[in-house]
Amino acid sequence: MSTRVFVFPSRSFAPRSTAFAICAQCRRSFASSAVLNSGHNRWSKIRHEKGAADAKKNTQRSGFAKNLTLWSRLYGPDPSLNSRLAAVIAAAKKAGMPKANIDIAIARGQGKSSSGVGLEAMTLEVMIPPAVAMVIEIETDNKQRVLQDLRSLVKKHRGTVTPTAFLFNRLGRSVLKGEPEADEEKFDDVMMIAVDAGAEDVQQDKSGNVVVWTQPHETHQKAQDLSRELQTEIISSEIVWSPSGDKVKLDDEEAATNIAAFLTALQEYPDVQGVYANTEKGKITEALWQTIEDNLDA
């Protein structure tokens, strides 16, 4: 009986192990996927940390700008004659705030741009999902440009420009430095002094500071009078939009994240002077609410 031997040429159609090819492909896929995910997670972490640092820096600069404007308005734009303004300028420079931004904030206290042009005050009323009403206060020397920019920003964050001012009361709010350890009796004395001076309402915030509410046209004068009477310093003094009815609770993380991004963008816009909203914390995380609260003026 003869035996036949079949020899396949080098370019033959001999069957190969399909299972081996598939397994090899699987191994390659899993290996590359692990490396990709590791890099992605690291990049996500870096991006998150950078975003948090940038947000903190923007909030800090916004606070400096408001104080520079306040002290310039109350006591004049010359730091050599205004020790409080000089102190804030020094702190802002130490924190890395650009000189141009410092000059802009000081000029705003005098109702002017850094070039000396008079500023026009206006408001933009908007509604942002989920039905959060906002009033944005603006001071600018180019009304058309600002309105175009901010309308575009509102649209980007799924909002609409619509009347909302009727949901707020216009009030003066001054915050005077208090004593965190002050007892109830001492605060009652402070309250009586403020009421006698014409305050509409007096509260104590979580830091122990005294919050005085007045009619808008009396805001800055009452703040200065009470500062002398109580022998304490003014932390802030401004005319605000205070929600007049129930506030909208933020329960949805996605909607709240959108609001946080919108507010951060507004705070970075140099002509925006204040942002007010009728919202409060619902079921969202404490960290997300803190971001929102830090970028609101009321």
- Length of the chain equals 298
Instruction: Report yes or no on 5 lying in a domain.
Output: no
Least confident piece of the model among 14-23, 87-96, 148-157: 14-23
Q: What is the pLDDT of residues 136-181, one digit of tens each?
A: 999 999 999 999 999 999 999 999 999 999 999 999 999 999 887 7
pTM of this prediction? 0.71
Strand pairing report for 248-250 and 279-281: parallel
Q: Is 193 helix (H, G, I), strand (E, B) or coil?
A: helix
Distances (CA, A) of 143 to 231, 275, 295: 41, 17, 23
C-alpha dihedral sign at 160, 163, 168, 174:
positive
In a domain, 279, yes or no: yes
In a domain, 52, yes or no: yes
pLDDT band of residue 64 (cuts 50, 70, 90) is confident
Burial 91-111 (b: 16+ CB within 10 A, else e): ebeeeebeeebbbbbbbbbee
Domain of 39, in residue numbers: 18-116
Q: Residue range 118-138: average pLDDT?
A: 96
Query: Within a domain: residue 4?
Result: no
Query: Do the Cβ atoms of 127 and 133 come closer than 8 Å?
Result: yes
Q: Look at residue 15 and tell me whether its pLDDT is greater than 60.
A: no
Share of the chain above pLDDT 90, in %: 54
- Asked whether residue 143 falls in the same domain as residue 225, the answer is yes
The torsion region of residue 96 among left (phi > 0), alpha (psi -120 to 50) and beta comes to: left
Q: Which of 81, 116, 151 is the last residue of a domain?
A: 116
Determine phi and psi for 185, rounding to 5 degrees.
-65, -40
Q: The domain that contains 221 carries what CATH number?
A: 3.30.70.980
Residues 107-118: what's their mean pLDDT? 85
Question: 33-37, 154-158, 215-219: which has the highest mean pLDDT?
Answer: 154-158
Q: What is the pLDDT of residues 251-260, one digit of tens each?
A: 999 999 999 9
Q: Tell me what pLDDT residue 29 has.
A: 45
Claim to verify: residue 97 and residue 170 sit in the same structural domain? no
Q: Which of 27-41, 177-191, 244-258 has the lowest mean pLDDT?
A: 27-41
User: What is each CA distance from 152 to 2, 128, 161, 266, in whole angstroms?
Assistant: 88, 13, 10, 12
- Determine the average pLDDT of the residues in 210-236: 92
Residue 249 resides in a domain: yes
| Residue 45 belongs to domain with CATH number | 1.10.10.200
- Please tell me the predicted confidence (pLDDT) of residue 17: 46
pLDDT of residue 76: 92
- Give the phi and the psi of residue 84 in degrees, each rounded to 5: -70, -40
Q: Is the pLDDT assigned to residue 33 strictly greater than 50?
A: no
User: Do 109 and 27 share a structural domain?
Assistant: yes
Residues 6+ apart with CB under 8 A from 248: 130, 131, 132, 133, 278, 279, 280
What mean pLDDT, rounded, does the chain reach?
Answer: 84
148 & 46 share domain: no
Angle at 45 between CA 40 and CA 48, to 5 degrees: 120
Are 48 and 70 within one domain? yes
Q: Is residue 267 part of a domain?
A: yes
Give yes or no for residue 200 having a pLDDT over 70.
yes
Q: Is residue 263 part of a domain?
A: yes
144 to each of 122, 126, 148, how far by Cα in Å?
Answer: 11, 17, 6
Overall domain count for the chain: 2
